[in-house]
Amino acid sequence: MIRKLRSVLLSAALLVTAFGAHAEDTEQVFGSWTLRCSAAADSKLDCMMFQNLVQKTGGQPVLQFGIGMAPPEGLPTVLVSLPLGISLPPGITIQIDNGSPATFPVERCEPDGCRAGMKLRDATVQQLTQGRQLHITFYDGARKPLKVPLSLDGFGASFKALVAAQQPAPGS
């Protein structure tokens, strides 16, 4: 069941990443976060909030940190997309401001990059909402740590909009 949930969320993230926004997609920006929604086959919205980090020179993607609501329970689930060539055994470490770091495995690599996923607990959502910066550490091929910061500006508003967009319309 967990693999299926990850697969669904991964597929959605890959489509968003690979193809970008389409005419039927809607996007809202909340500080440093973007919420993208598109109509799903069952007349519901398929939404994901995300932040992309790209290299200053060349604009090559470094990582994408995305959050979607994984079916069927609608639990918030993170998907981190990383570049190829990273060292897999150390996994990735996530730290909110100066809080305790948490390490997660890199689950798989595909031709367009590597992926790590995790469920978000309510306490973690609260920390992200109140925090200023999210630090993600992963390791290059030589196992040297690469620590990248993501701004949490707008996280709370974006997450609130994500949750609201996934709620059934009145009368449904």
What pLDDT is stored for residue 4 in this prediction?
A: 40
What pLDDT is stored for residue 169 in this prediction?
A: 58
Spatial distance between the Cα atoms of 110 and 96, rounded to a whole number of angstroms: 28
What pLDDT is stored for residue 14 in this prediction?
A: 37
Q: Which amino acid is at 66?
A: G
Span 57-80, pLDDT tens digits: 877 888 999 999 987 788 999 999
Q: Which amino acid is at 159?
A: F
Query: Residue 17 pLDDT > 70, yes or no?
Result: no
Taking all residues of the chain, what is their mean pLDDT, rounded to a whole number?
Answer: 84
What pLDDT is stored for residue 2 in this prediction?
A: 40
Cβ atoms of residues 91 and 59 within 8 Å = no
Structure tokens at 153: 């500006």
Query: Which is nearest to 76 in space by CA: 101, 94, 49?
Result: 49
- Look-up: residue for tokens 């990443």? 17
Task: For residue 6, name the pLDDT band (cuts at 50, 70, 90).
Answer: very low
DSSP-derived secondary structure for 28-73: EEETTEEEEEEE-TTSSEEEEEEEEEE-TTT--EEEEEEEEEETTT
Spatial distance between the Cα atoms of 93 and 78, rounded to a whole number of angstroms: 13
Spatial distance between the Cα atoms of 125 and 157, rounded to a whole number of angstroms: 12
Q: Which amino acid is at 2?
A: I
User: Which of 2-11, 53-62, 155-164: highest mean pLDDT?
Assistant: 155-164
User: What percentage of the chain has pLDDT greater than the value 70?
Assistant: 82
Q: What number of other Cβ atoms are within 10 A of residue 115's Cβ? A: 20
What pLDDT is stored for residue 171 in this prediction?
A: 55
> Mean pLDDT throughout 10-24?
43
> Mean pLDDT throughout 147-161?
96
Spatial distance between the Cα atoms of 150 and 39, rounded to a whole number of angstroms: 28
